[in-house]
């Protein structure tokens, strides 16, 4: 298919000052979805027009822009109501989609595991279902292209009854997947290996960092949402301590509600981690807003009061003398995941935070306490173990919540 030509439309309201940045991001999203941006329009309005998103005069302006640029599609930067979507399509006589549909479309193209595919399809179908309501013609005006493609290029279903059936079916399949995931998680917890969730804005360099630290060989690209499915890799410190790093889907502003629901399992990786490793792209002028979005999303997911280490990434590209602060973080480090600068320091900081959660056991156990020593082997790191005439001498680090068992 030929590249879809899109015009981006946004409304800057008085309580929203990052419209321009959001529009730049929308262009990147479009590019990731394989479309070419041929025009951008911002309307300043007190409020979004309830019926048509933008006002009458602006509609005329967009119309002539469509004419002069031969655009195929208009993409609005906020989620449209079914009525807004319908009215705007009528007025412009062209396919109109919103930011949500664009993001869902990218997810659909990117999903690779069966779980990822199911989650995306669920989000898409639920969005569709909610947008079939209330409009006379539903989404039938849409031709092909963005917004019509499900995972694996399959065409998205249009029929309400079939959509509902498929949703029920996907839900059933996802319950099974969830069970498996919970089992893996439980096993990990039993092993007492600390889990570090690499989180952050999309394109911040999370996968690059995972690769640098563990040689994971995960795809990293200068594209939004290169990673969808969680990948976990082990790392072993010199003292024998192990940790698991989990790389997962990135966040973005206005992350679609349907997507958050469908991807809850994936997004919640952070919730079950011991430490949040927040990767921020300090070469991006939009970093502060991005970090804000990340914390907002983490709060929405209920991460609680976990330790947060923020890695200011891409310092190789950052301005000299840049001042970097993160008040939510317990520790911050400057790194370049690409060339490895600062990654040693980062690992040291991670180790410190982990050690902070551990206590030293340093005593001699009698020979009939062998079960306890087994337990230490399971959940801690032995520094020294010596079988002596008066018993077994142990020096080891154990998680502080278990130290009472060995006192
Ligand atoms: N110059 C420079 N580029 C980097 C650095 N870290 C990552 N990149 C580049 O930034 C882009 C995004 O990196 P990824 O690792 O895919 O980012 P991500 O956070 O995993 O992104 P998503 O999975 O899409 O959310 C890639 O082109 C990387 O090569 C860095 O320290 N310096
Ligand atoms: Mg990634």
Sign of the dihedral defined by the CA atoms of residues 256, 261, 262, 263, in that order: positive
Q: Tell me whether residue 136 is in a domain.
A: no
Is 207 near ligand 1, meaning CB less than 6 Å away? yes
Same domain, 293 and 390: no
Residue 101 has pLDDT above 50, yes or no: yes
Q: Which of 72, 94, 111 is the last residue of a domain?
A: 111
- Quote the CA–CA distance of 320 and 295 in Å, as a whole number: 26
In this prediction, residue 53 has a pLDDT band, given cuts at 50, 70 and 90, of very high
- Please report the pLDDT score of residue 264 as a whole number: 79
Pairing label, strands 381-388, 358-365: unpaired
pTM of the model: 0.86
Same domain, 363 and 344: no
Mutate to test the pocket of ligand 1, among 31, 106, 206, 208 (most ligand atoms within 8 A of CB): 208
Residue 138 has pLDDT above 50, yes or no: no
Q: Tell me whether residue 137 is in a domain.
A: no
- Please report the pLDDT score of residue 135 as a whole number: 46
Same domain, 326 and 254: yes
Same domain, 347 and 367: no
CATH of the domain at 320: 3.40.50.300
Q: Which ligand 1 atom minimizes the distance to the CA of 227?
A: 23
Is 208 near ligand 1, meaning CB less than 6 Å away? yes
Q: Tell me whether residue 151 is in a domain.
A: no
Same domain, 281 and 340: yes
Residue partners of 111: CB distance under 8 A and separation at least 6: 117, 119, 120, 151, 228, 229
CATH of the domain at 64: 3.40.50.11060
Q: Tell me whether residue 143 is in a domain.
A: no
Q: Which of 355, 370, 388 is the last residue of a domain?
A: 355
Q: Which of 355, 373, 397 is the last residue of a domain?
A: 355
Give the structural domain span for 80.
4-111
Q: Looking at the 3D structure of the chain, how many domains does it have?
A: 3
Same domain, 243 and 305: yes
- Please report the pLDDT score of residue 137 as a whole number: 41
Q: Tell me whether residue 161 is in a domain.
A: no
Is 199 near ligand 1, meaning CB less than 6 Å away? no
Same domain, 211 and 324: yes
Is 32 near ligand 1, meaning CB less than 6 Å away? no
């Amino acid at each position: 298919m030929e590249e879809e030509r899109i015009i981006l439309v946004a409304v800057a309201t008085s309580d929203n000052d990052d419209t321009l940045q959001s529009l730049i991001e929308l262009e990147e999203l479009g590019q990731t979805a394989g479309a070419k941006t041929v025009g951008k329009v911002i309307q300043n309005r007190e409020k979004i027009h309830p019926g048509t998103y933008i006002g009458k005069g602006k509609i005329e302006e967009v119309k002539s822009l469509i004419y002069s640029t031969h655009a195929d599609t208009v993409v609005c930067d906020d989620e449209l109501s079914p009525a807004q979507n319908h009215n705007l399509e009528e007025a412009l006589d062209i396919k109109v989609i919103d930011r949500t549909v664009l993001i869902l479309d990218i997810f659909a193209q990117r999903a690779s595991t069966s779980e990822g595919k199911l989650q995306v399809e669920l989000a898409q179908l639920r969005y569709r279902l909610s947008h079939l309501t209330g409009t006379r013609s539903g989404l039938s005006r849409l031709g092909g292209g963005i917004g019509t493609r499900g995972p694996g290029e399959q065409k998205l279903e249009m029929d309400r009854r079939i959509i509902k059936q498929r949703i029920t079916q996907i839900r059933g399949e996802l319950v099974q997947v969830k069970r498996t995931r919970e089992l893996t998680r439980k096993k990990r917890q039993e092993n007492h290996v600390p889990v570090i969730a690499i989180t952050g804005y999309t394109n911040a360099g999370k996968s690059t960092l995972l690769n640098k630290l563990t040689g994971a060989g995960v795809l990293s690209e200068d594209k939004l949402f290169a990673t969808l499915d969680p990948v976990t890799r082990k790392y072993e410190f010199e003292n024998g301590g192990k940790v698991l790093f989990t790389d997962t889907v990135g966040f973005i502003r206005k992350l679609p509600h349907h997507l958050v629901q469908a991807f809850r399992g994936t997004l919640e990786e952070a919730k079950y981690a011991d430490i949040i490793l927040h990767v921020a792209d300090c070469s991006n002028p939009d970093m502060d807003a991005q970090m804000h979005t990340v914390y907002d999303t983490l709060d929405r997911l209920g991460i609680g009061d976990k330790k947060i280490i923020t890695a200011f990434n891409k310092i190789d590209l950052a301005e000299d003398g840049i001042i970097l602060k993160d008040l939510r973080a317990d520790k911050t480090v400057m790194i370049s995941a690409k060339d490895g600068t600062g990654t040693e320091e980062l690992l040291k900081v991670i180790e410190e935070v982990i050690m902070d959660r551990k206590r030293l056991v340093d005593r001699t156990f009698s020979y009939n306490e062998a079960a306890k020593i087994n337990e230490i082997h399971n959940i801690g790191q032995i520094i020294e173990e010596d079988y002596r005439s008066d018993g077994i001498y142990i020096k080891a680090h154990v998680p502080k919540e278990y130290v009472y068992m060995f006192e």
